[in-house]
Structure 1
Amino acid sequence: MKLAVLTSGGDSAGMNAAVRAVVKAGILKGCETWIVREGYEGLVRGNEAAEGDTEPPPAACDNVPVADPGFVQNLRFGDGALLRDGTGDLPGRRTLKGRYIVRAGWDDVRGWFTEGGTLIGTARSKAFRTEEGRLQAAFNMIKEGIDALVVCGGDGSLTGADVFRSEWPSLVKKLREAGKINDHQVAAHGHLKIAGLVGSIDNDMSLTDLTIGAPTALQRICESIDNINSTAFSHSRAFVIEVMGRHCGWLALMAGVACGADFLFIPEDPPSAQIWQDELCKKVKQHRSVGKRKTIVIVAEGAIDDELNPIQAEAVKNVLADKLGLDTRVTTLGHTQRGGRPVALDRISPTLQGMEAVEALLEATPTTPSYMIGMHENKVVRVPLMEAVAITTSVSDAITAKDFKKAMSLRDPEFIESLDAFFETSRWDPHARSAKEKWMRVGIMHVGAPAGGMNAATRAMVRYCIRHGHTPLLIHNGFRGLLDDDVFEPSWLGVDNWATRGGSELGTNREQPDVDLGAVACKFQEYAFSAFVMIGGFEAFSSLKILEGARKDYPAFHVPMVHLPATISNNVPMTEFSLGSDTSLNALVDACDAIKQSASASRNRVFVVETQGGQCGYIATLGALATGATMVYTPETGINLDMLRQDVKYMKRRFSLDEKGKAEGRLVIKNEASSNVYNTEVITKMFKEEGGALFDSRSASLGHTLQGNIPSPMDRARAVRLALRAMRFLEEHHETLRGVPFKARQAAPESAAVIVVQGTGVRWVTVEEMTEHADMKKRRGKTSWWSSYKDLVDMLVARKQIIGEPKPDRTL
């Protein structure tokens, strides 16, 4: 099969990763892969080859023995340098001048996923909207023998793709009647296969949890707001920040939650046209009255009031300046939100979706619908393309009809929950308190190693407590701090900036309560804890297990207790994501991009990069997928001599296949606990010795840099969501114990639980159930949802095609 890929509509970070994945997956499946430059406009223009246009010479690596000789023939076609700028002209090679449908080889797309935007270009094509334009596009595709197309774009681009597919038989018929194609071409290309990938920074497509480019855009927004915060505080200013989102407020909402904004305007939840100005002023005055020096208001570009009147950033600024006398500035982030290198999630997710798109094309028949490839419950899914577009359109229709309740209901549950989280954590309201008899004294502690998002979760809990009348009691330095009475009651304003701070503001260590259970129980009683929260990794779960087991001996532990997973290792069983893991992956990607740049500049160099992670290979495996590493070593599979022998064999052959003068640096990612014998130094020396004249090697240990600096927006937003879930869980179980005498209390086993993320869903897991799924000795789960990604790393470097041997696996 010959398949092509194009990007259309607005660009978004991650599009290049998707194109790279489609090209590589196509070649792995035995397809010819083509790239269409400039979106649908490129389909219409086709190939108007310039004079003297020549075919590229054969790959100069025919003497390299590989397991699949056909793979070498698919190594290089369009030349990556030419595809990047579209204007290059190298002697003896095909130029791109006048060419819009270009054959792409394996090495032509290497390194693309580190680049922002779309390297193959995008354009809004007026010609393709006409039947004549689509007829010309069909002719250009058939002329090249292409009848399968992957389209990466927004709802308009995907709708255009489905229209093109539905019209295809009639277009083929017209081309035959006009004599432009022959009967053989009609028979061979009677059906067009379409697969859609959603590239949109707004995250506005239904039936998928996250669109390509949205995480990176959110990262850019939050980076800007974090920088604005310091100058706003310095001058006691108000800032009105306009972000993208014409029909969807996801970016504004998630930025508001992640950055601790004071107020936000989104199209799905518009304020009253009559009172929004007064409401804004009231909230800002409340915050200023408790001593807040800065005010941040976020406005989506499509913000409206409930009468559909636009709410513009300048109008909000005038309200704050004129009615409150605040020194107010407007910052419109504009297209800075689209730019920059993709974050880890916008490299991993498009890679998975691009590979699934090729599978969908291979399985497509004339009777199957066009599929959109999306993400749901942490899995790549296929959904009928037009069904997704129809639901997406119905959100806009509901807003236009002023049916805002319906518009909110059509968003995913996380969107609705995040809006509630924003109200709970951003608006200080003394009238929101619960009945006094329901108030709790909540102990909050960090346990284990620091992780991004710990402080954001603590801030959310503190603010929820104060808003509802509970008393938050923060404990410094873990259980040792509790025994030393290092406990304090924070204020609303005291935790205001915690969301953007990395590490642990409370301090944390690996001490567990069995250091002195009796003394810990006395402190529970002394501080009259009626609920207890531990934020941390596997140590926090172990502590919860100890406290729950000690309830039979110590009545003080008969209170609801929660473990909120937060660890960069992501080694807590049964949860797909722990707070800090996304921040850590981003830190690893940033470091590896710099390391790979050094390796590429030096030519022919391999860097063995050591990561943290303990006995869990999550960071190493997902990091390898996000950075394009050549191989990855994890504790789950370990390292042996046979594995190293094959790795050296692969590395030699791969460097031999590189075009002369264009060799790139390569990465090997190794978890710190992969082997006690074959450590990073040994592996580096082995590659250096065996590489000879082909390649050199160096090592780099990332160490504690992987704990990150400023937490990622995804970790911050997830922290707030989980923290509020935890508080409501505590309230629910506290209610069952309220009024029972201290010594007579009997907390149910389910009142001591771990909150886990499984896809877009959140559930509670008891200590007993968690223990069944935990490897207590190796401090990780017995199974891992990400384990199959190791095979994907090998696939994306064509290991089987080059040496023909699967990587030996000795699962420990």
Structure 2
Amino acid sequence: MTVRIGVMTSGGDAQGMNAAVRAIVRTGIHEGAEVFAIREGWQGAIQGGEHIVRLGWSDVSGILSKGGTVIGTARSAEFRTREGQLTAVANLIEKGIDRLIVIGGDGSLTGSRHLCLGWPEYVAELVEAGRITPEQAAQHPRLYIAGLVGSIDNDMVGTDMTIGTDSALHRITEAIDAISSTAESHRRTFIVEVMGRHCGYLALMSAIAGGADYTFLPESPPRPGWEDRMVDVLARGRAAGRRDSILIVAEGAADRDGTPITASRIQDVLRERTGEEARITILGHVQRGGTPSAYDRWMATACGVEAVRQVLDAEPDSEPVLVGVHRDAVHTTGLLSAVEATHRIGDYIASADYDAAVAARGHGFLTMIDIYRMLHEARPSVSPPETPRRIAVMHAGALAPGMNQLARVAVRAGLDLGYEMMAVIGGVPGLINGDLRQVGWSDVEGMAHTGGAAFGTRRYVPQESELYQMARSLEDHGVDALLVMGGFHAYATVDLMERERRRYPAFNIPLALLPASIDNNLPGWPMAVGADTALNTIVSSIDMVRMSASASKRAFVVETMGRTCGFLPLLGGIAGGAEKAYLPESGITLEQLSADIEALVDAFETGRSFYLAVMGEETSEHYTADVLARLFEAEGRGLYSVRRALIGHVQQGGTPSPFDRINATRLAYQALVNLDRQLQSGTDDYVAAHSGTPGLMAPLRDVTDHMDWERQRPREQWWLRLRAVFDQLSRKPGQE
């Protein structure tokens, strides 16, 4: 008997659910299983009949870019009853389904686990009642479950990110960016309420990404007297040069007495203490809507593929699993332990054990709270000495969105630690020419959500003859430590400076190096600052290309940046739903092209109206995007037309994504803490780069030993593990 897998989306909807459904259906088909959609969640399982339908390969085409869930979702009170669960089991067995993938929040996953545990008892009861046959009971003695968390709140322990969270952050930060413009114009205060009844992730991360002044979280209620402190913080920000004030409040925020802190309550406090009439914006369900982000598409896709493997390979007595991500890699954990740990956070909050509640969210959550508090203060937390030491910050290499947030956080973190902060203007050439200036708290105001690099950057590696002038510039400006942020050119520059320390004593200062590159071609950290923004630009462009071809039979060859690194074309292809991805790591052969053209022609002859190939800019010297387009069209013989789309430098521009802003915040803060540690300890021979372990920097050599300098990419590229995912989902079984 053919194995049958059921997939449902349950509870609240979340952007990216459709990507998971698509991955589950197509992976199941590749594995020889039949996949059934259970429409409207557990309510559909109870109703049965037409609510449980088989899905084919084409049934999930074109759904990647859609928000919500195409198979529907609902919250079912009936499923909480014994009779409701008994009926659901009967309907599943009638369809031959005993493997189930549930995409939902902790409530849906908890109920699913209970059903899994009670399945044998329900089966016996159904046989006794004559609702199923003994043969059916023997064929389906147990239920195998894998859960994917679909929740914009990021409120489940066991995964770094839940499906929909990144997209919700996009909606929120877009709103904050827009509100900031009008607030700054009128010198006004805005209070923005975001979702999060029990989890403050959205409020905290959107406050950091949007450069807000104050935030309220369910896990960390303010202490008594918070009203005066809030007013004081806002006043210091205005005194330091800020024209607007933005406050973010989670819908579940409360004070330490349990009294809700609502937007209206905050508005009343500000009116009473300052006389200002703050404006309120409640974002509501727009946070759930809209097109899913690139991250939610490729992450949900990878998790969906793994979920199928989990239910197909499950042992008879195995515990249901939760499939999520940890540091951008698919990760599984026991569903029971994840749900119990999540519920404990609510218990901690109810019992006023707020330290435990914050700790339960993970070390990263606690660290980001500390970083946020540092960012919105307009005064250092330590008293600077009469002659403070100086730390300089410098961009190097190609432009990457998020560079301004790196600089902003670095400057404010340095000031908070009692240092004078210097900015190198114009990258490496600026350091050679001695173009450095002192910067203060207000000089980096408003940089959180801006693209570009306000301090300037250049693709430039110094010549040996220029090292002396670089050293003189550091000495002349009294620089005691240097933070360099950028791509390959930044790494090459710092590598050169370290090698020449014996000849130039001015280089014997603490040096720190952070990755900022849209190509994501640097070792030591899974996502360089700028890569996520570029990926979202690519996916947005692909969505528009797809719409432009909706009225005709057309194939597109989309060329991305990335130079010799395949991160952008591969993940852009996964998130954009491409049929083919050509990468610099594997190149292109004539034999491969012949097979691809044959598959392309066959696709259009059998009813396809759109075909998408994505390739990196340096995939092949000879088989360029133009050559591929010409070959595709020539072999189509009028069956379809072919167009090229070179996305170009827009991938380096635009507003940085929330992910890149948060990533930059974390990295810059950790770098300044590292430089401070070195300066306080008197260490002067330690050049640090990010090690890939959260919170840790490592000696430069430990990081750059993993760099393939000739090909300008890491020796180990984690995203290449997703190549198999792409190949499986882009082609029907039997296609080569």
TM-score normalised to structure 2 length: 0.98
Distance in structure 1 (CA, Å) of the matches to 2:240 and 2:526: 39
- 8 Å Cα contact 1:38-1:100 kept in structure 2: yes
Distance in structure 1 (CA, Å) of the matches to 2:729 and 2:245: 47
Distance in structure 1 (CA, Å) of the matches to 2:588 and 2:315: 44
Match of 2:139 in 1: 188
> Per-residue deviation at 1:239?
0.3
Match of 2:36 in 1: 34
Q: Secondary structure at the match of 1:786?
A: helix
Distance in structure 1 (CA, Å) of the matches to 2:232 and 2:336: 44
Q: Secondary structure at the match of 2:100?
A: strand
- 2:504 counterpart (534, 554, 566): 554
Letter in 2 for 1:632: A
Query: 1:310-325 residue pairs with structure 2 within 5 A?
Result: 310-325=260-275
> Per-residue deviation at 1:764?
2.2
Distance in structure 2 (CA, Å) of the matches to 1:212 and 1:437: 50
Q: Secondary structure at the match of 2:448?
A: helix
- 1:523 counterpart (473, 492, 496): 473
Distance in structure 2 (CA, Å) of the matches to 1:408 and 1:231: 34
Q: Does 1:792 align with 2:729?
A: no
Letter in 1 for 2:580: M
Match of 2:150 in 1: 199
- 8 Å Cα contact 1:172-1:186 kept in structure 2: yes
Aligned-residue RMSD, C-alpha? 1.4
- 8 Å Cα contact 1:438-1:735 kept in structure 2: no
Match of 1:95 in 2: none
Match of 1:89 in 2: none
Match of 2:238 in 1: 288
- Deviation string, structure 1 residues 603-662 (Cα, Å, up to 9, x no partner): 2x110011111111111111111111111111111111111111111212222333xxxx
- 1:345 counterpart (284, 295, 308): 295
Match of 1:268 in 2: 219
Distance in structure 2 (CA, Å) of the matches to 1:438 and 1:177: 86
- Deviation string, structure 1 residues 568-616 (Cα, Å, up to 9, x no partner): 000012321100000110011100100111223322x110011111111
- Deviation string, structure 1 residues 384-437 (Cα, Å, up to 9, x no partner): 11110000000000000000011111112211111111011111125x124527
- 1:536 counterpart (486, 506, 511): 486
Match of 1:103 in 2: 54
Letter in 1 for 2:720: S
Structure 1 runs (4+) greater than 3 angstroms displaced = none
Q: Does 1:447 align with 2:380?
A: no
Q: Does 1:763 align with 2:696?
A: yes
- 1:692 counterpart (637, 645, 648): 637
Q: Does 1:490 align with 2:439?
A: yes
> Per-residue deviation at 1:563?
1.0
Distance in structure 2 (CA, Å) of the matches to 1:790 and 1:377: 18
- 8 Å Cα contact 2:6-2:35 kept in structure 1: yes
Distance in structure 2 (CA, Å) of the matches to 1:621 and 1:166: 40
Match of 2:562 in 1: 613
Change (3 A) 1:115 1:756: farther
- Deviation string, structure 1 residues 114-141 (Cα, Å, up to 9, x no partner): 1001111111111111111111111111
Letter in 2 for 1:2: R
Gapped regions of structure 1 (runs ≥ 5): 48-98, 738-745, 804-812
Distance in structure 1 (CA, Å) of the matches to 2:539 and 2:548: 14
Match of 1:721 in 2: 666
Distance in structure 1 (CA, Å) of the matches to 2:315 and 2:708: 45
- 8 Å Cα contact 1:372-1:385 kept in structure 2: yes
Q: Does 1:160 align with 2:111?
A: yes
> Per-residue deviation at 1:290?
2.2
- 1:132 counterpart (76, 83, 104): 83
- 8 Å Cα contact 1:653-1:802 kept in structure 2: no
Letter in 2 for 1:512: V
- 1:575 counterpart (504, 525, 545): 525
Change (3 A) 1:613 1:438: farther
- 8 Å Cα contact 2:237-2:376 kept in structure 1: no
Percent identity at matched positions?
A: 41
TM-score normalised to structure 1 length: 0.89
> Per-residue deviation at 1:364?
1.6
> Per-residue deviation at 1:529?
0.5
Q: Does 1:117 align with 2:54?
A: no
> Per-residue deviation at 1:695?
2.5
Change (3 A) 1:438 1:27: farther
Letter in 2 for 1:24: R
> Per-residue deviation at 1:337?
0.3
Q: Secondary structure at the match of 2:64?
A: helix
- 8 Å Cα contact 1:198-1:205 kept in structure 2: yes
Distance in structure 2 (CA, Å) of the matches to 1:541 and 1:554: 18
Match of 1:7 in 2: 9
Letter in 2 for 1:372: L
Distance in structure 2 (CA, Å) of the matches to 1:166 and 1:351: 28
> Per-residue deviation at 1:799?
5.7
Match of 2:409 in 1: 460
Distance in structure 2 (CA, Å) of the matches to 1:790 and 1:396: 39
> Per-residue deviation at 1:791?
2.6
- Matched positions, count: 733
Match of 1:77 in 2: none
Match of 2:735 in 1: 802
Q: Secondary structure at the match of 2:514?
A: strand
- 8 Å Cα contact 2:671-2:697 kept in structure 1: no
Gapped regions of structure 2 (runs ≥ 5): none
- 1:390 counterpart (340, 348, 351): 340
Query: 1:80-99 residue pairs with structure 2 within 5 A?
Result: 99=50
Letter in 2 for 1:144: K
Distance in structure 2 (CA, Å) of the matches to 1:752 and 1:641: 46
Q: Secondary structure at the match of 2:246?
A: strand
- 8 Å Cα contact 2:267-2:277 kept in structure 1: no
Q: Does 1:179 align with 2:130?
A: yes
> Per-residue deviation at 1:756?
4.0
Match of 1:232 in 2: 183
Letter in 2 for 1:404: Y
- Deviation string, structure 1 residues 91-134 (Cα, Å, up to 9, x no partner): xxxxxxxx211110000001111100111111111111111111
- Deviation string, structure 1 residues 760-809 (Cα, Å, up to 9, x no partner): x2432323223322111221112211112223221112265223xxxxxx
- Deviation string, structure 1 residues 309-350 (Cα, Å, up to 9, x no partner): 111110001111221122310100000000000000100111
Change (3 A) 1:539 1:799: farther
Match of 2:165 in 1: 214
Distance in structure 2 (CA, Å) of the matches to 1:756 and 1:705: 30
Letter in 1 for 2:17: M
- 2:689 counterpart (748, 751, 754): 754
- 1:594 counterpart (521, 539, 544): 544
Q: Does 1:632 align with 2:581?
A: yes
Distance in structure 2 (CA, Å) of the matches to 1:425 and 1:329: 23
Q: Does 1:673 align with 2:618?
A: yes
Match of 2:193 in 1: 242
Q: Secondary structure at the match of 2:543?
A: helix
- 8 Å Cα contact 1:576-1:756 kept in structure 2: no
Change (3 A) 1:333 1:734: same
Q: Secondary structure at the match of 1:116?
A: coil
Letter in 2 for 1:233: E
> Per-residue deviation at 1:374?
1.1
Q: Does 1:503 align with 2:442?
A: no
Letter in 1 for 2:95: E
Q: Secondary structure at the match of 2:221?
A: coil
Q: Secondary structure at the match of 1:218?
A: helix
Change (3 A) 1:383 1:395: same
Q: Does 1:258 align with 2:260?
A: no
